[in-house]
Structure 1
Amino acid sequence: MKYFTYLILICGIFMISSCGGDDDICESGEGTPRMKVAFKSLASGKEVTLDSVYVAVDYGSGKVQLGKLQKINSRLIPLRVDDSPYTDVYFRLENKAPESHVRINYTTKTAYVSPGCGIKKTYENLNSELKQSNPVQKVEAGQNQIENEDKINLYLLF
């Protein structure tokens, strides 16, 4: 009986120590980064905080609503991860208000990260065009590559 207790204790220790390896999840920012969009005033050219903004993105099968955020000065937006050279993003300030259509063009590179994270996409040569201009009046380029989520890639002028 004494040996049986030791055997169960040793098996329990091995089971606990084998759980939770480093490759289980992608938690240290190694995944595909999102585009950072900030907002500016058209009159002053300075960054502003919006009372609310609604964002929708077309990932190739129709618009997906990303929801409403309040009192924000920037927003992270995931881009398409397929082989498309652009992503269409839609912005509006109120729920039933007109929306602006912005097309973000880019080239992509892929790199293997780890078994947990898989493949990471980075976006280069970003440029954007304003297709529908209400409420966004103008777009202004920021950093033209997305390697992480620290730098602003696009400014929307209201």
Structure 2
Amino acid sequence: MKYFKFLIAICFLGVLFSCGGDDDICESGEGTPRMKVAFRSLDSGKEKALDTLYVAVDYGAGKVDLGKLAKIDSRLIPLRVDNSPYTDVYFKLTYNGAESKVRINYTTKSTYVSPGCGIKKSYENLSSELVTPNPVQKLEAGQNQIENEDKTNLYLSF
């Protein structure tokens, strides 16, 4: 019985000291940032909110639907994390409506963050090209690098 209590105490102390910190959880914006897209009126050039917006992205294996959002003034869109120099993003205002294709070109830089987060991609030298112009009529560049998700990188004019 004496050895059994000793074994229980050793197990308890082992469990107590084996609990690690939260360094394996990727929090507080340490991961790869997303591109922020805002919307403007084609007539006035002022920022506006959209009633609905459907977004799809081609990550290299076909289009992935990111879904519909309603009553929005900006949208965060994840870009490709492989070594591709561009990402194709598709925008439409209605489910069965016309779809605009926008190609986002960039260069990437990889930075090691932590064992839990792995590698963080930074996007630099952003430029965009409007491949299919309906319903998006015009593109305007914002900040040309993605460091965090605070600043707008691209303005779409409808």
* TM-score band w.r.t. shorter chain: over 0.9
Map 1:97-116 → 2, pairs under 5 A: 97-116=97-116
Amino acid at match of 1:145: Q
Structure 2 residue matching 1:12: 3-state secondary structure: helix
Superposition deviation, residue 120 in structure 1: 0.7
- TM-score by length of structure 2 reads 0.93
Query: 1:144 corresponds to which letter in structure 2?
Result: N
* Counterparts in 2 of 1:91 and 1:20: CA distance versus 1, 3 Å: farther
Asked if the contact 2:53/2:70 (under 8 Å) is kept, the reply is yes
Question: Structure 2: any 5+ residue segments left out of the alignment?
Answer: none
Any gaps of 5 or more consecutive residues in structure 1? Answer: none
Aligned equivalents of 1:92, 1:20: Cα separation in 2:
46
Output the TM-score relative to the length of structure 1: 0.93
Aligned length: 158
Give the fraction of aligned pairs with identical amino acids, expressed as a percent. Answer: 77
RMSD: 1.5
Aligned position for 1:73: 73
CA positional deviation for 1:14:
3.4
- The letter for the 2-side match of 1:91 is F
SS of residue paired to 1:134? coil
The more displaced of 59-68 and 16-25 is 16-25
- 1:107 deviation in Å? 0.5
What does 1:2-151 align with in structure 2 at a 5 Å threshold?
4-5=4-5, 7-9=7-9, 11-151=11-151
Q: Would the alpha carbon gap of residues 124 and 19 (structure 1) be closer, same or farther in structure 2, given more than 3 Å must change?
A: same
Moved over 6 A (4+): none
AA of the residue aligned to 2:104: I
Tell me which residue corresponds to 2:157. Answer: 157
Q: Quick one: which amino acid aligns to residue 153 of structure 1?
A: N
Q: Deviations over 1:38-68 (max 9, x none)?
A: 1111111111111110000001111000000
Structure 1 residue 17: Cα displacement: 4.2
Which whole-Å CA distance do the structure 2 matches of 1:61 and 1:117 have between them?
24
Tell me which amino acid in the other structure corresponds to 1:147: E
Secondary structure at the aligned position of 2:146 is classed as: coil
Residues 97 and 20 of structure 1, relative CA distance in 2, 3 Å threshold: farther
Question: What amino acid maps onto 1:112 in structure 2?
Answer: Y
